[in-house]
Structures are given as C-alpha cells and as structure tokens.
Amino acid sequence: MVSNDSRPRIGITTYLEPATWGIWQREAALLPKVYLDAVVAAGGVPLLLPPVGTDTTILDVLDGLVIAGGCDVDPASYQASAHPETVDTRPGRDEHERVLIEAALDRDLPLLAICRGLQMLNVTLGGTLHQHLPDVVAHDEHRPSPAVFGTTEVKVEPGTLTARILGDHAGGSCYHHQAIDVVAPALKVTARAGDGTVEAAEVRGHDFALGVQWHPEETPDDLRLFTALIRSAT
C-alpha cells in the first residue's frame, strides 16, 4: 500500500527485441508508449520490468502489475506442439512473466493482464491456448492484417469485477491470433466475443486479478481498466 500523497507504482512487463535508434542497432527492452500514457493518465507511476534477471522481490516496491501484450506464447509452456502459424516466440519472456504472475498472485498484488498477458495468465494457471484463432472462428477479424488493429465487441458476465468496471458490454482495439482454449481451473471467464472467443477472465479468490484479450491502452479516452487497477493499488 502507498501513502495518500504518493501515486501507485505500477510495474509493466516489456519486450526484449532488436531495435534501432539513432545510429544504433542493438537488443533493447521495449514497450509501446501507450501503456505508459495509460498508467500515468489513470494516476499511477509506470516502472518497466525487462525480461531478464527475474527477481520477484521487485514486487515488494510495486503497488500493481501489468502483463503487457506481445508475441506468441511458446506452446511448449502448455505441453503442445507448435502450429505452423505460431512464430516468433520468446520462451525467456514466457518464464519471466510466469514467475511474476505467480508471485503477484501469492502477494494478492493487483494485476491487469492484457492480450498476450491474459494468455500467459491462463497458461500459468494450467490452461491452454488456441494457437491460430482463425482455425476456430473461421475469420481473421481479431487480427485483420499485419500491424492493423481490429475491433472487438464483447458481452460481459453480470455480477463480476469486469462488469463492475465496464458494464454489460465492452471492447476495443484487438490484435491477436491466439486465444484461450482450455480455461485454467482458477480462472472465471467474464466476457466473450460474439464468436465465442474468451475476451476477459478473473482469477478466483482475488480482489483484482483480471485479464482482457483486447488492448485498452489503445483507447486513451477510456481508461476504466487502468483507473480500476490504480484504485485497487491505492
């Protein structure tokens, strides 16, 4: 907990990717700025968590945790063989986020998991993924084309934390071709898209441990999920 004159410190997981800036081309820890903007606009202080040297004591100085979006989850993490469309995995990041998720849940630290983050939350708790969602729903509207966001509309289960934050219907920008398949026993599905895709889930028995499949950070005029995280972390 933080004092009344302090803003909650929110850790956000990052990518470890080849990057270019100025004259340099090197591996770097990256995160789209929209995540930082959303945390700041909601009243928090963002702290970046690179997927190296994982030490869960970092959570001792955090008031909340965001598991960010990104690349495909390695199917080996849920004992599956890779689909031809499963590419560009980062097993090191998977392990880093698994450890942080488990430690955050042990501490009951407020947790918001976004897109890949929801998938990692499910896998960490024993669930599995659809590796290529178009095989299941017969369309590609969740990821229309490279670097182009789709739009998803979801129906929210009443009486859930998700509903208290977002109401009966929600959604926003989406960009994913993987999604939850077998739901982990500790998760409760709280929203689905019209095609049945799991769009939100909560961890049973926790005050604020919520994941969404869409990207709320891409909608700066709707900060309800980030605001709820900050309030829970205060």
| Residue 2 confidence class, pLDDT cut points 50, 70, 90 | very low
Q: What is the pLDDT of residues 169-221, one digit of tens each?
A: 899 999 999 999 999 999 999 999 999 999 999 999 999 999 999 999 999 98
Q: What is the largest CA-CA distance in the chain?
A: 53
Length of the chain: 234
pLDDT higher than 90, residue 14:
yes
Rounded to the nearest angstrom, the gap between the alpha carbon of residue 52 and the centroid of all alpha carbons in its chain is 18
pLDDT of residue 6: 87
Residue of 175, 177, 155, 176 whose CA lies nearest to 166: 155
Measured in degrees and rounded to the nearest 5, phi and psi for residue 49 equal -120, 100
pLDDT tens-place string over residues 65-105 = 999 999 999 999 999 999 999 999 999 999 999 999 999 99
The 8-class DSSP code of residue 71 comes to S
Catalytic, out of 97, 202, 217, 218: 217
Q: Give residue 1's pLDDT.
A: 41
Is 215 designated active site?
Answer: yes
120 pLDDT more than 80: yes
6, two tokens: 């302090």
Among the listed residues 115, 174, 199, 202, the single catalytic one is: 115
For the chain, how far is it from start to end, CA to CA, in angstroms? 6
Q: What is the CA radius of gyration of the chain?
A: 17
Nearest to 161 by CA among 191, 186, 192: 191
Which residue among 130, 142, 176, 215 is the active-site one? 215
Say whether 217 is catalytic. yes
At 118 the pLDDT is 98
- In terms of Cα–Cα distance, which of 2, 15, 14 is closest to 43? 2
DSSP-derived 3-state class of residue 33: helix
| Global pTM value | 0.95
Is-catalytic flag, 130? Answer: no
Contact 64, 8 (CB under 8 A): yes
Residue 146 falls in which region: left (phi positive, over 0), alpha (psi -120 to 50) or beta: beta
Q: Please determine, for residue 5, whether its predicted confidence score (pLDDT) is greater than 80.
A: no
CA pair distance 43, 56, nearest whole angstrom:
24
Q: Are 191 and 162 in contact (CB under 8 A)?
A: yes
- pLDDT tens-digit map of 44-70: 999 999 999 999 999 999 999 999 999
Tell me what percent of the residues of the chain surpass a pLDDT of 70. 98
pLDDT at 3 over 90: no
What structural domains does the chain harbor? 9-233 (3.40.50.880)
